[in-house]
Structure 1
Amino acid sequence: MADTLNVVPASVIRNLADKLYEKRKNAALEIEGIVKQLAAAGDHEKISAVISLLTTEFTDSAEANHRKGGVIGLAAATVGLSNEAAQHLEQIVPPVLKSFSDQDSRVRYYVCEALYNIAKVVRGDFIIFFNQIFDALCKLSADSDANVQSAAHLLDRLVKDIVTESDQFSIEEFIPLLRERMNILNPHVRQFLVGWITVLDSVPDIDMLGFLPDFLDGLFNMLSDSSHEIRQQADAALSEFLQKIKNSPSVDCGRMAGILVQRAGALDELTRLTAVTWISEFVKLGGDQLVPYYDNILGAILPCISDKEEKIRAVAWETNEELRARKLDPAEGFDV
Structure 2
Amino acid sequence: MLSNLGSLHLNGNMLKGNLPSSLKNCSSLQILDLADNIFFGNIPLWLGQFSELMILVLRSNKFEGHIPHQLSNLSNLHVLDISRNSLIGGIPPQLATLISMRNSTLGISHGNGGSSYYYKEGIQMFNKGLQMEYVSLVMLLITCIDLSVNNLSCNIPLAIGNLKGLHTLNLSDNSLTGEIPSSFGMLTELESLDLSNNKLHGKIPNEMLQVFSLSLFIVSGNMLCGKIPEGSQFNTFNSTYFLGNSNLCGFPINNKSCRCGERSNSSISTPLPEKENDEGGELPWNWYVEWMTSVAVGFWGVFGILAMKRQWRRRFIEVLDEIVINLLNFNW
Quick check: TM above 0.5?
A: no
Return the TM-score normalized by structure 2. Answer: 0.36
Bigger helix share: 1
TM-score, scaled relative to structure 1: 0.36
Q: Which has the larger radius of gyration?
A: 2
Of Structure 1 and Structure 2, the greater strand share is in: 2
